[in-house]
Amino acid sequence: MAQRRMLMKGTEAIAEAAIRAGCHHFFGYPITPQNEIPEYMSRRLPQVGGVYLQAESEVAAINMLCGAGAAGVRVMTSSSSPGVALMSEGASYMVGGELPAVIVNIMRGGPGLGDIQPSQGDYDQMTRGFGHGDKHFIVLAPSTVQEAVDMMALAFDLADEYRNPCVVLGDGLIGQMMEPVTFPEPSERTFDRSWAATGKKPGQRRNILRSLFLDPEVLEKHVEKLFEKFKVMELKEQRYEAWMMDDAPPVVISAYGTTARIAKSAIRELRAEGHRVGLFRPISAWPFPVDGLATYVEQTRLFLGIEMSMGQMVEDVRRVVAGRRPVQFWGRTGGMVPTVEEIVAQVKERSAALGQ
């Protein structure tokens, strides 16, 4: 069947894509700028026999995910930065209890109440500080609405495959953007759910989903088992886009999400003026595409991180580049969006200093 292209707002496209990926349960709490996701879910889910429930808080929402995930269904929530921070405890429990779910974070400006404008200030929150203890989440960062749509199906598959919550990390821009999208065919993959708490089958072992292991030796074993999964994720789930990199440009911008889109426009302008500049765009913020970036270190003279933050992902770039090349940073924060002109100017200034 030919897929129809539809013009959709990012937030609504994310919601529809989740439903098409088989997610019929949504628990969430309103927060700007992602309210179109729960609003869309509250209209659509009853039509497909699903459940939309507005929780009393983000804390409750994540724990409803915990229950639904434990019961073995595809479930998601969406929120924005401070709301996601409130979910971090429950998310950690879900990693410990190996419960799948998808958490969408449409980032806004912080710290604190900050503002409701687009931001990328949660890179560290999602890749480092989301929840206590030794844990990781796969974090997917879409840069277009279509990519966000494709990512929803992927996120549910990854959550099920690894029995671990999966994060889709967008910003207010992608949420509000209207773009034509095509919804992918639903994935054919099936997943074992015999571990779910659905009622003890007679004659079988019962299922207990928990993260408490009072004996330190046992907990260490459990965490090591989790980290075997994380190791596999780090091997198999690194995703990135290398754009305009074939001619080994001396200057490489590292950017993700909508910032990467703006960077692309800037690179087009720069290239038109004869400046060779490329883009390294992590699609998975965790696992960070270490191997992909590593292949470009030798050929590059300068890395420039550009983010809607004071510089968070750039630390991962620095980690990979490991002092072999200069890694600089420029960004806007507080909900300010970098412009093409600003990026062009930044690159020119810096490449001039390099003697380009």
Partner 1 sequence: MAEQVAFKRTSVLTDDYFHYCPGCTHGVAHRLVAEVIEEMGIQDRTIGVSPVGCSVLAYNYLDVDFVEAAHGRAPAVATGIRRTLPEDRYVFTYQGDGDLASIGMAEIIHAANRGEKITVIFINNAIYGMTGGQMAPTTLPGMRTTTSPNGRDTGLCGHPIRMCELLDTLVEPKFIARGSLSSPKLILKAKKLLRQAFDLQHSGFTFVELLSTCPTGWGLTPDNSLAWLERNMVPFFPMEVFREPGKMPPQATPYHPDLKVRDDAPKAEKKTEEG
Binding site for partner 1 (CB under 8 A): 25, 27, 51, 53, 55-57, 59-61, 63-73, 75, 89-90, 93, 97, 197-202, 206-212
Q: Which is nearer to partner 1, 83 or 338 (CB)?
A: 83
Residue 79 Cβ, how far from partner 1 at the closest point, in Å? 15
Complex with partner 1: residue 11 or 92, whichever CB lies closer = 92
User: Which residue type occupies 239?
Assistant: R
Question: Cα separation of 246 and 235, whole Å?
Answer: 24
With respect to partner 1, which residue has the nearer C-beta, 77 or 127?
77
First to last CA, the chain: 51
**CA 155/CA 214 separation, integer angstroms:** 32
Instruction: Tell me how far apart the alpha carbons of residues 186 and 152 are, in angstroms, rounded to a whole number.
Output: 11
Q: How far is the CB of 89 from partner 1 (least distance, A)?
A: 6
Whose Cβ is closer to partner 1: residue 27's or residue 162's?
A: 27
Which CB atom, from 54 or from 176, has the smaller least distance to partner 1?
Answer: 54
Residue 146 in 3-state DSSP? helix
Nearer to partner 1, 17 or 65 (CB): 65
Peptide bond into 33 cis (omega under 30): yes
Provide the residue type at 277 as one letter.
Answer: V
CB of 17 to partner 1, least distance (A): 20
Minimum distance, C-beta of residue 96 to partner 1, in the bound complex (Å): 9
Residues 6+ apart with CB under 8 A from 212: none
Q: Which tokens hold the place of 285?
A: 């913020």
Closer to partner 1 by CB, 14 or 94: give it.
94
Min dist. Cβ of residue 211 to partner 1 (A): 7
- CA atoms 53, 59, 62, 64: torsion sign: negative
Written as six digits, the tokens of 338 are: 């970098």
Q: Shortest gap between Cβ of 41 and partner 1 (angstroms)?
A: 13
Contact present, 31 and 80 (Cβ < 8 Å): yes
SS3 303: strand
Q: Kindly state the DSSP code that residue 114 receives in the 8-state scheme.
A: -
CB distance 195 to 16 below 8 Å: no
- What is d(CA 287, CA 18) in angstroms, rounded to the nearest whole number? 22
Would you call 113 helix, strand, or coil by DSSP?
coil
* Residue 223 CB, nearest approach to partner 1 (Å): 16
Q: Minimum CB separation from partner 1 for residue 16, in Å?
A: 20
| Smaller CB separation from partner 1, 14 or 75 | 75
